[in-house]
Amino acid sequence: MPKYNVHVYTIVRVKVPDIEAASPECAAELAGGGAILDWYKLFDIGANIEWAEMHYDFLVDEIDEKGRVRTVRLDKNYKEVYPCLAT
């Protein structure tokens, strides 16, 4: 039976409090664009993060398979979205 490395793309909720901005769109851009948060550090320390109980999709690589011919991307219902091309 083959073994796989599975990359799970999941959705998390991160609260970014007290953003002063001209509009909701500007506030969202400040929060999401990296101007306020260092996203890498935030995930390293786990501050104010919770799982939103939803997976977006999956990238599945067969271990020891050469050329990634059988690598697939699956949607949240585990259906193939499109075959990934070997890189």
| pLDDT tens digits, one per residue of 13-57 | 888 888 999 999 899 888 888 677 777 777 776 666 777 778 889
What pLDDT is stored for residue 3 in this prediction? 92
C-alpha angle 69-59-46 in degrees, rounded to nearest 5: 150
The pLDDT of residue 4 is above 90: yes
pTM score, whole prediction: 0.63
Q: What average pLDDT does range 56-71 have in this prediction? A: 84
pLDDT for position 23: 92
| Per-residue pLDDT, 46 | 62
Q: DSSP readout, 11-75? A: EEEE-------SSHHHHHHHHHTTSS--HHHHHHHTTTEEEEEEEEEEEEEETT-GGGTT-EEEE
Tokens of 18: 């007290």
Reply yes or no on whether the pLDDT at 71 is more than 90: no
